[in-house]
Amino acid sequence: MTAPPSAAGAASSVSAASPDSSRSSPGSALAELVDITKTFGALVANDAISLSVLPGEVHALLGENGAGKSTLTRILYGLSQPDSGEIRVDGRVKRISSPADAMEAGIGMVTQEFSLVDTMTVTENLMLAGVGLGRINRAAARAKVLAAAERIGVSIDPDAIVEDLSVGQRQRVEIVKALFHDCRVLILDEPTAVLVPQDVEQLFDSIGRLTSAGMGVIFISHKLHEVTRIADRISILRRGRIVASRPAAGLEPRDIAALMVGAESVAAPVASAENETLADALATSIGLDPADLDGPSVSVGGSALPSAAIRDRSRATRATSPISEATALQITDVTLGNDGSRVLDAVTLSVRRGEILGIAGVSGNGQTELVNVLCGTLTADRGSVMVDQTEISGLDPAARIRAGFGRLTEDRKGSVIPGLSVGQNLVLEDLDRFRIGPFLNRGAVREHVQKLIERFDIRAQPGDPIRSLSGGNMQKVLLARAISRGPKALVASQPTRGLDIGACEYVYSQLRALRDEGAGVLLISEDLDELLGICDRIAVIFSGRIIGELPAADATPEALGLLMTGHDTGAADDSDAAVNA
């Protein structure tokens, strides 16, 4: 499904400050941000930004991490206040001091982190978000839920308990919650980050229905192939300023990537030589021949690259040497119960040396618990975990690290100590290496930290507070800490969630390098493009069980999506036989 055509997508150019004149007259925008400036100390997060969203259009807002996207949308939704500038709704200046003000003005927002109460029903959640003083009319609220669901073309049970819903269903409830307040402008922040392909199709269908009825959508995503598919117009932020704003028609993902990293001269629809050079560099960074940049594409770390080329060249782009038959990480019969149900059900996986094994699954199917069991922060009811023939199941986290186990968990901020410096966090788990008797060799620590900062291109000084780093640089610190020991096996959970193109590609390069040095990598991700682009094999987890496995070269998003929703396609059994033959 593609977004309904609009004059915004057909215009030859458009400014960031005003609506497309071919579509409407000035002042007809549903919402406008005019000269918005926001600073945090010396940091200018938004620098005199002007942006509008028109009736019936999807306006994609793009940029690297730290470019200012989140700050700008928080201002529009009333979660933050600008230092200067104004917001206009239907051409009139509107002060938006809170989300309540935003909702009253017809502005809704759906973020990656859902704000639903798990133990309540769908209707109760929406009533909680929308009721004021006075009597509660449950029947009227229930009818309103059904009407809003019909508006986006989905079936939602108003009486369903939220914790029983899939991730895709919860997202639809969040959209319905926005429509509950007569939303006319909907902000979607990374809406496909945790969705299976079938849910993405449903989301895009819903967006099409809403925009065809006149709603405006602000769409934030790192997945450039989705942007070119759904958007009418794109605006690109870099270092707090809009550096490009133009119709999406005719733009390819490589064009957008070039604009994001600084090639302002790229014209649509014809890509410039500078743009071609960037695309070639992106291809080379994952091991593809730039000549293969033709045909249908998928996204790898937000950069569109052809799915056929990735599948055809899978072995060449993955392991640079044959995968060993020796096992780096062996997980056998790992089982974990919770309140009478099994969170993990006899999970068995083998990761060989020189291999990246991916685990795909919809959020909440046991991935987090599996990582915690492997890392030693959660004890399984039964089962075995071995690293290079060494049993680590009974060891504490520190002993597992000494045994050659590396970890990169999904909770980035929870993996560092915010009150400590970059240097202190880099050696936090490795201090024994720098002890001379009871004393710490501080000179050796400083030298080690400086080498890691240089090797992993961490944009910070050793004494900088870790909390001051961007998400990408914080992830580099965690990568450096895990990889610098030369682990025999590494588990990496959601390693690029929320990172921009450059940071994603950096993480991939480090995981590939570790794999090529002979380690085994277990990559757990909800991004199918990521798994297809870097893994050698992909296993699927559903309701705590491994229900299928495919060689990455033979996998498709559709086949994985079916397995992720519990449908056994039969391909898994065939591929298992092929792998074990």
Evaluate whether residue 29 is within a structural domain.
yes
Let me know whether 389 and 494 are in one domain: yes
Question: Which of 231, 249, 267 represents a domain boundary (last residue)?
Answer: 249
Evaluate whether residue 146 is within a structural domain.
no
Let me know whether 55 and 185 are in one domain: yes
478-507 per-position pLDDT tens digit: 989 988 888 999 999 988 876 767 778 888
Evaluate whether residue 15 is within a structural domain.
yes
126-156 per-position pLDDT tens digit: 888 765 545 677 888 888 888 888 888 888 8
Let me know whether 85 and 181 are in one domain: yes
Let me know whether 291 and 329 are in one domain: no
31-50 per-position pLDDT tens digit: 999 999 998 887 788 999 99
SS3 string of 308-323? HHHHHCHHHHCCCCCC
Q: Which domain holds residue 283?
A: 275-316
Evaluate whether residue 408 is within a structural domain.
yes
* Chain centroid to CA 167: 14
Let me know whether 226 and 349 are in one domain: no
Evaluate whether residue 106 is within a structural domain.
yes
Let me know whether 312 and 338 are in one domain: no
Helix axes 501-516, 273-285, angle to 10 degrees: 30
End-to-end alpha-carbon separation of the chain, Å?
40
Let me know whether 29 and 45 are in one domain: yes
Let me know whether 486 and 572 are in one domain: yes
Structure-token match 């080379």, residue found: 284
Quote the pLDDT of residue 320: 53
354 by DSSP, 3-state: which? Answer: coil
Distance CA 99, CA 320 (A): 51
Let me know whether 244 and 361 are in one domain: no
Evaluate whether residue 87 is within a structural domain.
yes
Let me know whether 500 and 543 are in one domain: yes
Q: What is the DSSP letter of 500?
A: -
Mean pLDDT score, 244-269: 71
Let me know whether 528 and 563 are in one domain: yes
Type of residue numbered 226: E
Question: Which of 265, 294, 316 represents a domain boundary (last residue)?
Answer: 316
Q: What is the pTM assigned to this prediction?
A: 0.61
17 pLDDT more than 70: no
- pLDDT category, 191, cuts 50, 70, 90? confident
- Cis peptide bond upstream of 495, omega within 30: no
* Structural domains counted in the chain: 3
The two three-digit tokens of residue 502, written as one number: 């450059």
Region for 437 from its dihedrals, namely left if φ exceeds 0, alpha if ψ lies in -120 to 50, beta otherwise: left
Check which CATH number belongs to the domain holding 216 and give it: 3.40.50.300
87-129 per-position pLDDT tens digit: 999 999 999 999 989 999 999 998 877 788 888 999 988 888 7
Check residues 317 and 152 and name the one with the higher pLDDT: 152
Let me know whether 339 and 306 are in one domain: no
Evaluate whether residue 468 is within a structural domain.
no
Evaluate whether residue 254 is within a structural domain.
no
Distance CA 195, CA 114 (A): 13
